[in-house]
Amino acid sequence: MAARSAARRGQGDAPPADATSAPGGRVSDRVAAQLCALIADRGLQPDQRLPAERALALELGVSRTALREAIAQLASQGLLRARAGGGTYVQRPHTPEEQVIAPLQPFLPLLQGDPEYRFDVLETRHALEGATAWHAALRATDADRARIGTAFEAMLQAHAQGDAAAEARADADFHLAIAEAAHNRVLLQVMRGLFDLLQTNISQSRHKLFQSPRTFAPLLAQHRALRDAILAGEPERARDAAHAHLAFVHTSLRSLDEDEARRARASRLPSSPDTPRR
């Protein structure tokens, strides 16, 4: 009897079984499923708060550790939002495009604050846009070709008006129109998800590139070559034009950055003793 009592006391002191493992998969997965069922059963809507952690753990019959892991899992999927010291809230599920861009959101401030991140974006674009240009040349409909042409003309008009913001939007629209013309849902979803990142990249790039007379004419010719190859239905030429365009942007930005660095260094040099003071 004493042994059985001791065993019962030992079981009572032990942590819940779900704190470590559970048959048939991870405990956090099971608890996450329980949370989803609770949200559905109660009809909780976006921005509504879940019960407090202690009460929720008791209601579900799980440890608070397992509950926290499940909440973190659902938060990473965009289904919950945890506020430090402020509870956990239901969140509207991400669209497919938002699911693509969500992991990139933390990089937006870095991209805006560190010019080197522009080149990471350019490398990503190089990998994607050659494929979209290829497929667009093969699959573009009349409506697709019209959208690509309209976006190209909008770039010219915005540049003529000196509207840098409108020009950046038109440039992004031009590349996105090509992605739409590819009629590949995965490529389109990724490109749409990257749109905010792409827009930031284009704005930063154009601010430098289009203030330099030696780069505007080549950029215009590259966009025209890309447009013409797609409208002509020539996939190899379209892919090569996309790659040539992005390679030129990469090289030109590096060159402009180096020029600025040289000017900055020159401005810090001490003045010659013969230089008259003003």
Q: Which of the four CATH numbers 1.10.10.10, 1.20.1260.10, 1.10.30.50, 1.10.3720.10 does domain 17-93 have?
A: 1.10.10.10
Taking the whole predicted model, whether its pTM rises above 0.85 is answered as: no
Burial class (CB in 10 A: 0-12, 13-18, 19+), 126: middle
CATH 1.10.340.30 is held by the domain 100-267: no
Element (H, E) at 83: strand 80-83
pLDDT tens, residue by residue, 81-138: 877 667 888 887 666 555 555 555 555 565 555 667 778 878 888 989 999 999 999 9
Indicate the domain borders of the chain. Answer: 17-93, 100-267
Q: Are 226 and 241 in contact (CB under 8 A)?
A: yes
Token match 């013969």: residue? 274
Highest-pLDDT range among 13-22, 148-157, 165-174: 148-157
230-263 pLDDT, tens per residue? 999 999 999 999 999 999 988 988 887 787 778 8
Among 102-106, 169-173, 201-205, which is the least confidently predicted range? Answer: 102-106
